[in-house]
Amino acid sequence: MNEIKDIARGDRCPGISYTDMLNGDTRRPPDYLFEETTIEMGDEPLSVAPYISEEFARLEREKMWPNVWLFAAREDEMPDAGDTVVFDIAGKSFLLIRQKDGSVKAFYNACLHRGRKLRTESGNSIQLRCPFHGFTWRNDGSLKEIPCAWDFPHLEGKDMSLPEARVELWQGFVMLTENHDLPDFKTWLGPAASHYERYDFENRYTGMWVQKKIPANWKATAEAFMEAWHSITTHPQLLAFLGDANTRYDLIGDHFNRAITPSGVLSPHVKGKNSDYVLEKMNEFSGGQDARTNRRFSASEGGEEGYEADDPLGARKLLAEAGRKGFAEQYGYDYSEASDTEILDNFTYNIFPNFSPWIGFLPTLVYRWLPGDTPDWCIMEIRLLFPTPKGEKRPRAVEPTYIPDDEPFAWAADKMGPQLANVFDQDMANLPYVQEGMKTMKVGQMELGHYQDSRVRHFQTTLKKYIDGELPATK
């Protein structure tokens, strides 16, 4: 392994970089984790108008949402023919239906007679019969029946099939767009699409799924997860084993950026502690009922051959090996060649505009943010995707749990684990006051950090390209 060295760059935390940690890994990480990609974004302040303006939300509905690829469902939500998912976003509704040949079609969820939604809940469909007057379509979208057909002679010979949105299946995700001229999803996303191939996402299942209304704009809520340096104030309990300020931020193309936050190491803000302290605090955080959901795992407190408490990566190496062994027992796969980083670290991958599917070998988080009917609220969804145990059939996705509006994430601690729920409650405690504060700002502008806030600026730059008509680029 290469020697770990300190770095001293004006726009980076002085200390061990994430790339240096990769060089200290006990296994060779994939090349795409070494690739550091930046785009010069400048340092101009950002306007708060996109977060609080109904006019801007209208422009998003007109110019952005119909022209991007959207995460609409997981295939494990709809494994059988006839399984139907209702996907609502930005004032529109779609029906995703598994066809007899295994493909998925997406229809605009509206009767062609008087516009009534054909379905309001997900479930299996034998046919699509409008509850208002009984117009009926088959699951492939073709018209089956018009009641009192004698009154509609003008429709004879007219194509009355349900209009379709475009669908592609990628890594078990059902991706949807209204724009039939966009490039295919992998081309639209770019190189990051290949990063998922190593982890068998198609064979994963949704084992935890919660939804909660957040009193803040969808972008402000999403951006709360685009940087890690808020941990020093918002999540102080994580600093014992999370390299918050060591996080690397990468900006790739228009539609992808990522933060990679190392785990199993001390935060640069913590001084005078060694790897024994990291192990102690990580085990405290990971204990009990959280072990399945919080992506952490217990390990011995040292004593392993080659372990050195004064090695800044000592705890990291020990925890990664414990993870390889523990998850091999749990899922039946061979993780012996999995790098430390792929076992331990937080890969917050963001796919524009509202989709964050993490990577890694083991249970991975997926976030989705859905805009409200005003700029002042959204729905945040949190899923955990679990590997299907070797030799077993992929389970059907669990049903989503909607957390009551007046309850915290801790209300669903039995689903999420209390420690993970607490982390999200800490994040959400800021957001109502972010939304209120942005309306209060005298000059209506935010001053961002050059590096640690770069993903926020990159995201806003891409959004502006859609609002201004520079995107979408079509095939």
The residue type at 385: L
| pLDDT computed for residue 351 by the predictor | 98
Position 474 in a domain: no
Question: What tens digit of pLDDT does each residue of 56-89 get?
Answer: 999 999 999 999 999 999 999 999 999 999 999 9
State the residue for tokens 């890690």: 228
What pLDDT, in 10s, does the model give residues 215-241? 999 999 999 999 999 999 999 999 999
Look at residue 293 and tell me whether its pLDDT is greater than 70: no
Q: Are residues 283 and 348 in the same domain?
A: yes
Number of domains in the chain: 2
> Cα separations (Å) of 26 from 237, 306, 314, 321, 345?
27, 12, 11, 9, 14
* Residue 13 located in a structural domain: no
pLDDT confidence of residue 209? 98
**411 contacts 404 by C-beta, under 8 angstroms:** yes
CATH classification at residue 233: 3.90.380
For residue 124, what is the enclosing H or E element?
Answer: strand 123-124
Q: Domain holding 152: CATH number?
A: 2.102.10.10
Share of the chain above pLDDT 70, in %: 94
Same-domain status, 39 and 117: no
**Residue 473, in any domain of the structure:** no
Structure confidence at residue 110 as a pLDDT band (50, 70, 90): very high
Count of Cβ atoms closer than 10 Å to residue 127 Cβ:
12
Three-state helix/strand/coil letters over 361-392: CCCEEEEEEEECCCCCCEEEEEEEEEECCCCC
For residue 6, the model assigns a pLDDT of: 40
H or E stretch at 355: strand 355-357
- Quick one: 248 and 362 in the same domain? yes
Residue at 327 is within a domain: yes
Burial zone of 349 (CB within 10 Å; 0-12 exposed, 13-18 middle, 19+ buried):
buried
424 and 350 fall within a common domain = yes
How many other CB atoms sit within 10 Å of the CB of residue 37? 15
- In the listed set 119, 143, 178, which residue is the last one of a domain according to the structure? 178
Domain residue limits at 94: 72-178
